[in-house]
Structure formats: C-alpha cells, structure tokens
C-alpha cells in the first residue's frame, strides 16, 4: 500500500535533462515508492503536470548505490533509460563526492564514472541480438528485419528498431515513428531510430520513443544506433551520435556499451497535495 499521507502532503521532485531528453526524478530512498502509473502519467502531462520523457524513482539497494525505476510519459514502465541513469549518477556523485558508483536498473547493475569536464560515463551493458530476448514476435534476422527499409533490431534493456537512411533530417518522424512503434513484429512496442552517416565514426540520429513520442535525445537509442552502424559496417565501434539536443559518445567495448555525455539539473520543486489528490488511481 502506498503512503496514506501522500495526498495530504506534497511530493518533492527534481527536473533534469541529458541533451534535452528530460526527466522528473523522485528520491524515494528509505521510503516506499510513491509513484503509480496513473501518477506518472499525470505528472508527464506537459500542460497539467510538469512533463517529462521519463520519470525516474530512486530507491535504496543492498548491492549498489541506488535502484532506479523508470516510467514513460504514458505511465508505462521502461526497463532502461540511459540519459536518466547518467543524470542520477551525476546527482549521487555530487552528493557523495564519489567518482565511481553503480546503479541497479532492470538491465542489471550498471557501472558509472565521472569522465571529467562535467561529463558522466555509464556502461549500458551488452547489446541483445537474440530475437526472443529483444523481444520480437518470431525468429528473423535481427540485422535486417523483413520490414520495408530493412531496419535492424536489438535490445538495450528495451527494444529498438533502427533504420539506416540517406538523410535522417528528411524523415517524417511522427508518421513513421507512430507506424513502427506498434509494428506486429514487436509485441511490447519499440523505440524507432533513423540514422544517417555524417562522416568517419559520426552519425545523425532522430528517435521516436515508445510511450513518449519524439524526444531530443535518447541514451539507449544512441547506443542502439551506434551498435547498428558498427554492425552494418558504416562505422567503427566508437561513434559520436548527433541528436537534436547534442552529441553523445558511444563506445561498444568488450564489457558493454559505454555512453558519455553531459547532464543538467534544471530545478527542484514539489507536487502539491491538491495536484496529487486530483489523480485517480
């Protein structure tokens, strides 16, 4: 049962972003998670709440520095959110003075490092290519799916469908993102990326996130895009990914996919008791 006093008192939060990929962060260390899918959806409304691409709840963990739970803007759960993980890693590093720490997500325990210059580096784990684990609805070649445009499929804790196109800027992201998010090959829906080559080991990436829509950046999407570019022979394994919000550096190493980029703490606030009590569910 959630805190019975939740609707009679406020709920503190932080607003953060990584390259414009924005988050509401709830610190629930030492207390019960106060967020339900209905509350997450209400907070995610950019007109009547605060708005976010993902909401992250920080809780205590016996084997890592913290446990993270993610919600999409539609209230659904997300197993991974790379940029939010980087933001929270930076938050805890600033709080504790640590330069290395670990965070538990549904992907497992992820290593996080201070990369210097205000940048934060995390290991997002190994990419998943097995069709059942992504998951896909049936056994197919995940390097080139039987979909027009022959996109690649992979998992980074969440499913991805990555199209290689001549010019990512020219893509109708809303129309195609909506279409392929719910493609029958993806039983749990999918994130949809469109990438084009900019130069040696540099790609442009635009993304439609499942349960959210168009976002300015995506950590797991950047990882999926860089790994796909390397698998398809367009780049090496260390790639700069240019998103709408800026550049992430992705390094596909033997121990996993490392992601490096900036974070930003924008403001702190408190959801009022009146707002919380207006939410059904």
pLDDT in tens, 181-214: 999 999 999 999 999 999 999 999 999 999 999 9
Tokens for 99, please give them.
Answer: 């330069």
pTM of the model: 0.92
State residue 22 phi and psi, 5-degree precision. Answer: -105, 150
Ranges in the chain annotated CATH 3.10.310.10: 6-124+263-277, 152-254
Place of tokens 């390097």: 143
Whose CA is closest to 187, among 162, 159, 209? 159
When pLDDT is cut at 50, 70 and 90, the band that residue 1 belongs to is very low
With 80 as the cut, is the pLDDT of residue 10 above it?
A: yes
> Options 3.50.50.60, 3.40.50.970, 3.10.310.10, 3.40.50.300; which CATH number does 6-124+263-277 get?
3.10.310.10
CB 218 within 8 A of CB 208: no
Share of the chain above pLDDT 70, in %: 97
Indicate the CATH number for domain 152-254.
Answer: 3.10.310.10
Write out pLDDT tens, residues 85-140: 999 999 999 999 999 999 999 889 999 999 999 999 999 999 999 999 999 999 99
């Amino acid at each position: 049962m959630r805190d019975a006093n939740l609707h009679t008192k406020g709920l503190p939060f932080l607003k953060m972003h990584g390259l414009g990929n924005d988050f509401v962060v709830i610190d629930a260390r030492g207390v019960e998670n106060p967020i339900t899918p209905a509350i997450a959806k209400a907070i995610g409304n950019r007109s009547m709440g605060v708005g976010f691409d993902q909401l992250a709840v920080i809780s205590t963990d016996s084997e890592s520095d913290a446990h993270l739970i993610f919600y999409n803007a539609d209230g659904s759960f997300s197993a991974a959110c790379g940029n939010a993980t980087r933001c929270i890693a930076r938050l805890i590093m600033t709080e504790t003075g640590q330069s290395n720490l670990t965070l538990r997500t549904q992907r497992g325990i992820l290593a996080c490092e201070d990369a210097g210059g205000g940048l934060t580096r995390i290991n997002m784990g190994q990419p998943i290519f097995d069709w059942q684990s992504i998951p896909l609805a049936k056994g197919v070649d995940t390097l080139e799916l039987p979909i027009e445009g022959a996109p690649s499929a992979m998992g980074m804790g969440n499913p991805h469908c990555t199209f290689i196109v001549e010019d990512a800027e020219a893509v109708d992201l809303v129309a195609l993102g909506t279409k392929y998010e719910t493609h029958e090959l993806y039983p749990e829906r999918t994130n949809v990326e469109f990438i084009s080559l900019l130069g040696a080991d540099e790609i442009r990436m635009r993304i439609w996130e499942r349960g959210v829509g168009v976002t300015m950046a995506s950590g797991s999407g950047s990882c999926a895009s860089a790994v796909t570019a390397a698998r398809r022979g367009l780049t090496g394994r260390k790639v700069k990914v240019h998103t709408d919000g800026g550049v992430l550096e992705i390094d596909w190493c033997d121990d996993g996919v490392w992601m490096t980029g900036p974070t930003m703490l924008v403001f702190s606030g408190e959801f009022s008791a009146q707002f919380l009590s207006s939410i059904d569910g």
